Amino acid sequence: MENNQEKQIVFLKAKAAKEASKQLATMSAKQKNNILSAMACAIEKNIKEILFHNEIDVQAAKEAGINNVLIDRLTLNEKRINEMAKSIKDIVLLQDPVGTIVEEMTASIDIDVKKIRVPLGVIAIIYEARPNVTIDASALCLKAGNSVILKGGSEAINSNRILINIVSEAAKKAGMPEGTVQFIDTTDRTAVQELIHLENLIDLLIPRGSNDLIQFIKTHSLIPILSHGKGLCHTYIDETADIGMAIKIALNAKCQRPSVCNATETILVHKNIAEKILPQLCKLYTESGVEIRGCSLTKKIVPSVKEAQEEDWQTEYLDLKISIKVVNSLDEAIEHINKYGSMHSEAIITDDKDAANKFISEVDAAAVFVNASTRLHDGGVLGLGCEIGISTQKLHARGSIGIKELTTTKYVVQGNGAIRN
């Protein structure tokens, strides 16, 4: 397809989404929930068809030599598909944010002032190799009263296409306005270049994927961006930590699903507990297939580990690899995290409340965890139904992006002939 034709298609889809957003902004919670329920039901009824098309993508990815991290993100199974449907059902149960009062104020003159939540309008999502994003983004945006434009990666084109066809057909029958969910059904990169310049039609752009993709969009987009940054996450084991708890959490944070952004990449261990915990922890990591890279003190305690280099402290492995560093104090751990971390998810394992509070107040991250795994930084786990991504920036939202983060606010001022003198 020629570039001009591609640009025209993207423009028309964005224009249709803009028109749909006007209708969505006035829809009741019941209307939106009926649409969402129909989408969830349609997914559950079409599991075999979804798996068939996903297998085409997975096989193509393997033949193209795509790495195992991306293949894991791309792959669907019955459990993951049912989780998609459950996420939509969870979103149905959430309070509709649109119209809720955020704040009421007492003015200096006789007026009533409220700040209420309203939809953003049109949200575009550009993402790679994650078919579940297609469903999560559609459901979250719709619940928050927004239309959505989806541009998935070429690796997942068949999976995304079938998912959109299934949920769109069911949603339209349930009353979804025409144009609400727009899918850019092409692998041509021209579509992305056109999309990021439609600032008059699109209100927010959310990129998800590789650092290269995110940096490209940050550099070239004319649309405000809510960025899903990389996850270089740490777990610090304090000198007062319960060893059994610390090992359990450290294993989960790395091994439960190493290819995702909230998996821990570096373990920091206080020197006073290092000799007690590191032999056990490293043994279990090795048995789980984890490649360990340690500082000189770690290597002295567990000689079999590889020696860590400076780049290891800067690396988001997204794989069964981990770096371990022994630190002299909580202050040193915090300093290391704030230097090398990506402000995503950081954890402390401790029995010292003062240490926990210091960690919470001084670590600069979207989420901090006390005696809990970094893997818990997920919209579904935190009660948001699901998430579009995890923002590591500070405006306008930070952390897991759920329905509230997909709204903005409006002042409503009511008077009785009020004027300004």
Look at residue 420 and tell me if it is in a domain: no
Look at residue 179 and tell me if it is in a domain: yes
Q: Domain check: are 33 and 152 in the same one?
A: yes
- In tens digits, the chain (421 residues) has pLDDT values of 457 888 899 999 999 999 999 999 999 999 999 999 999 999 999 999 999 999 999 999 999 999 888 898 899 999 999 999 999 999 999 999 999 999 999 888 889 999 999 999 999 999 988 899 999 999 999 999 999 999 999 999 999 999 999 999 999 999 999 999 999 998 888 889 999 999 999 999 999 887 888 889 999 999 999 987 789 999 999 999 999 999 999 999 999 999 899 999 999 999 999 999 999 999 999 999 999 999 999 999 999 999 999 999 999 999 999 999 999 999 999 999 999 999 999 999 999 999 999 999 999 999 999 999 999 999 989 988 889 889 998 888 999 999 999 999 999 999 999 988 8
Look at residue 102 and tell me if it is in a domain: yes
Q: Is the pTM of this model over 0.85?
A: yes
Amino acid present at 409 = T
Look at residue 142 and tell me if it is in a domain: yes
Q: Domain check: are 305 and 347 in the same one?
A: yes
pLDDT, tens digit, 9 for 90 and up, residues 403-416:
999 999 999 999 99
Look at residue 123 and tell me if it is in a domain: yes
Q: Domain check: are 239 and 183 in the same one?
A: no
Q: Domain check: are 186 and 317 in the same one?
A: no
Strand order from edge to edge, sheet including 181-183: 181-183, 147-151, 122-126, 204-207
Q: Domain check: are 131 and 160 in the same one?
A: yes
- Sequence-distant (≥ 6) Cβ neighbours of residue 326 within 8 angstroms: 268, 269, 270, 271, 274, 278, 295, 297, 298, 301
Whole-number pLDDT of residue 21:
98
Look at residue 164 and tell me if it is in a domain: yes
Tell me how crowded residue 248 is: count the other CB atoms within 10 A of its CB: 14
Look at residue 241 and tell me if it is in a domain: yes
Q: Domain check: are 55 and 143 in the same one?
A: yes
Q: What is the CATH number of the domain that holds 320?
A: 3.40.309.10
Q: Domain check: are 145 and 256 in the same one?
A: no
Q: Domain check: are 218 and 249 in the same one?
A: no
Q: Domain check: are 35 and 137 in the same one?
A: yes
User: How many domains is the chain partitioned into structurally?
Assistant: 2
Q: What sign has the CA pseudo-torsion 300, 330, 371, 256?
A: negative
- Sequence-distant (≥ 6) Cβ neighbours of residue 82 within 8 angstroms: 44, 47
pLDDT, tens digit, 9 for 90 and up, residues 24-53:
999 999 999 999 999 999 999 999 999 999
Domain that holds residue 138: 3-228+388-414
Q: What is the CATH number of the domain that holds 193?
A: 3.40.605.10
Look at residue 383 and tell me if it is in a domain: no
The residues facing 266 across adjacent strands are 234, 323
- Sequence-distant (≥ 6) Cβ neighbours of residue 236 within 8 angstroms: 267, 268, 269, 270, 327, 330, 333, 337, 346, 347, 348, 349, 359
Q: Domain check: are 223 and 237 in the same one?
A: no
**Would you give the distance in Å from CA 116 to the centre of its chain?**
25
Q: Domain check: are 281 and 262 in the same one?
A: yes
Q: Domain check: are 198 and 269 in the same one?
A: no
Whole-number pLDDT of residue 2:
59
Whole-number pLDDT of residue 70:
85
Amino acid present at 321 = K
- Sequence-distant (≥ 6) Cβ neighbours of residue 79 within 8 angstroms: none
